[in-house]
């Protein structure tokens, strides 16, 4: 099993239950792990795409925020779709009228937008793209590959490419989470050694 944020939090919650640490420490650790995971993804993408980290960071944070409001969508999946669809260019439009980070076509998804909203607004685009993906997931019984194929208009290998990038992003984040956990545990061990 890959080391991930959940195992770090479960471990901390078990320690908290055993009165080794308090709930505030668990919440602080959760925040540190999330920050490390996001930072690692930003650095990975900025280097890969040769874009300033500040530019990439805005979109990574949007994906994390949107995924946190949904069940079944990970930030890595949303980031991978943005990467594949627009390479993080919020003002891009293709010849079919697909716009923004997640390449949403307004005429096919009018009900998901207010008249005043622009698909060139990154927050709106990511929200609507996530709405579409959720809808497609439900329509195909939760099969992510089929939902991604539908999202892309049945483009060949789209799901494979998006899922591959999503897995890379998750791995990068998991490695960062592991580093935070190791550093924290080493700090706790050294503190315990000094007091014991």
The CATH number of whichever domain residue 122 belongs to comes to: 1.10.530.10
Answer yes or no: pTM beyond 0.85.
no
Domain interval for residue 77: 23-171
Comparing C-alpha atoms, which of 117, 166, 141, 64 is closest to residue 150? 141
Query: Taking Cα atoms as reference points, which of 54, 56, 50, 148 lies closest to residue 101?
Result: 56
Position 191 scores a pLDDT of: 53
Residues belonging to the chain:
196
Q: Report the distance separating Cα 75 and Cα 153, nearest Å.
A: 22
* 60 inside domain: yes
Q: Domain total for the chain?
A: 1
Q: Is residue 75 part of a domain?
A: yes
For residue 45, tell me if it sits in a domain.
Answer: yes
Q: Is residue 166 part of a domain?
A: yes
Q: 19 burial class (0-12, 13-18, 19+ CB within 10 angstroms)? A: exposed
Q: What is the pLDDT of residues 143-184, one digit of tens each?
A: 999 999 999 998 889 999 999 999 999 999 999 888 877 776
49 falls within a domain: yes
Strand partners, 98: 105
196 part of a folded domain: no
115, pLDDT greater than 50: yes
Has residue 16 got a pLDDT over 70? no
């Amino acid at each position: 099993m890959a080391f991930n944020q959940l195992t770090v939090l479960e471990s901390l919650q078990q320690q908290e239950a055993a009165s080794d640490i308090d709930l505030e420490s668990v919440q602080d650790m959760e925040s540190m792990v999330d920050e490390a995971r996001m930072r690692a993804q930003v650095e990975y993408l900025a280097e890969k795409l040769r874009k300033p980290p500040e530019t990439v960071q805005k979109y990574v944070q949007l994906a994390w925020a949107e995924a946190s409001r949904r069940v079944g969508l990970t930030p890595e999946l949303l980031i991978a779709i943005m990467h594949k669809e627009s390479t993080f260019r919020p003002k891009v439009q293709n010849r079919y009228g697909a716009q923004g980070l997640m390449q949403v076509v307004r005429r096919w998804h009018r009900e998901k937008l207010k008249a005043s909203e622009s698909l060139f607004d990154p927050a709106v685009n990511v929200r609507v793209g996530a709405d579409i993906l959720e809808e497609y997931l439900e329509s195909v019984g939760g099969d992510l590959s089929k939902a991604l194929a539908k999202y892309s208009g049945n483009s060949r290998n789209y799901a494979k490419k998006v899922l591959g990038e999503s897995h890379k992003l998750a791995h990068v984040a998991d490695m960062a989470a592991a580093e935070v956990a190791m550093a924290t545990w080493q700090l706790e061990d050294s503190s315990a050694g000094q007091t014991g």
